[in-house]
Structure 1
Amino acid sequence: MRHLYSCPLRWSDMDAFGHVNNAVFVRYLEEARIDFMRRLAPGDGSPSFTGGSVVARHEIDYLRPLVHRHAPVAIELWVTKVNAASMTIGYEIKDEDTLYLRASTVVVPYDFTEGRPRRITAEEKTYLKEYLDDAAQQEGAVAV
């Protein structure tokens, strides 16, 4: 299953050539990731996904320039790997017929009170596995 996020384009996102600036794409990924994590939070008093997280790594392939328009762009997000203390999220930014960007982010849950990374809970793994892509499931990308 993939999480879908509709990302508005802002005039200030453009560079001098009228394209979305490369650094702005990282903010788009962040917006989609935050939307994804908030939707995973169970909302029943559970502490899952309520702490902090930090980005350990980004990989981005810029495929086509994205120019300003009034319609939002779609960001599809899914989980490609879940380890004991990190997860990898895959993304595509696209329209119906154009793929602009492929990316991945390694996210580490972080306990800001303790000032250190924390492990992913069993409950969080259960939620994340729902968004694990088919290829990752076949490769056994969930660590126990």
Structure 2
Amino acid sequence: MGRMNTLPDVPDTATVYPITVRWSDMDAYAHVNNVQYLRYLEEARVYAFKDWFGQERDLIDEGMLVVSQAIDYLLPLEFTYSPARVAVWCSDIGAASFGLGYAVCGPEGDDTVYARGRVTLVAYDLDARRPRRLGPSEQAALQRVSGPAPHLRGDRREGRP
């Protein structure tokens, strides 16, 4: 299970997961390649869903689609033998979709935020091949880990505060 958050500028409701930074994640500039950050967000999301929705029920197997992703790369993350930490929380809840906020931080002792991101997901009925409404227990689980969406650079262009 992830640990509760103590990182600066991350909601108290966020859950934090250690994510291994592999040597192969590095690029020619000796820092984590940008595409790897999306994999870190995905890995944290998989762990979060088990923690938030329970071990008996796998929301991913039932159907969940990523419909949009946005990320700001703030500082280059370099290889370290200690795992980085990814904080994840729910940033908004709709009828069939919800948003997650993320902060990719350094290993224990390094509270630097190297990247911030947002992902929007939709609950999906795999058999009917269409979105489905979130159930009351799903909405309640998301509400427990709810916090404000992270501010990203593109928000000014899109009219977000």
**The two structures share one fold, judged by TM-score above 0.5:** yes
Q: Does the 8 Å CA contact 2:15/2:87 hold for their aligned counterparts?
A: yes
Percentage of pairs with the same residue: 36
- Give the match for residue 10 of structure 2: none
Q: Give the whole-Å Cα distance in 2 for the aligned partners of 1:42 and 1:67.
A: 34
Cα 1:115–1:93 shift into 2, 3 Å = same
* Cα drift, residue 32 of structure 1: 0.4
Q: Give the whole-Å Cα distance in 2 for the aligned partners of 1:66 and 1:5.
A: 16
Normalised by the length of structure 1, the TM-score is: 0.86
- Give the match for residue 30 of structure 1: 42
Residues 94-113 of structure 1: pairs in structure 2 closer than 5 A: 94-95=105-106, 96-113=110-127
Which whole-Å deviations, capped at 9, do the CAs of 1:92-134 have from their partners, x for residues lacking one?
011233110000000111111111111111110011100011x
Q: Give the whole-Å Cα distance in 1 for the aligned partners of 2:58 and 2:39.
A: 24
1:70 aligns with 2:81: yes
Match of 2:28 among 6, 10, 16: 16
Count residues with an aligned counterpart: 133
SS at match of 1:18: coil
- Give the match for residue 81 of structure 1: 92
Q: Does the 8 Å CA contact 1:48/1:121 hold for their aligned counterparts?
A: no
- Give the match for residue 19 of structure 2: 7
Q: Give the whole-Å Cα distance in 1 for the aligned partners of 2:55 and 2:82.
A: 31
Normalised by the length of structure 2, the TM-score is: 0.77
Match of 1:120 among 107, 110, 134: 134
Q: Give the whole-Å Cα distance in 2 for the aligned partners of 1:35 and 1:104.
A: 17
Over the aligned positions, Cα root-mean-square deviation in angstroms equals: 1.6
Cα 1:34–1:87 shift into 2, 3 Å = same
* Cα drift, residue 48 of structure 1: 7.1
- Give the match for residue 57 of structure 1: 68
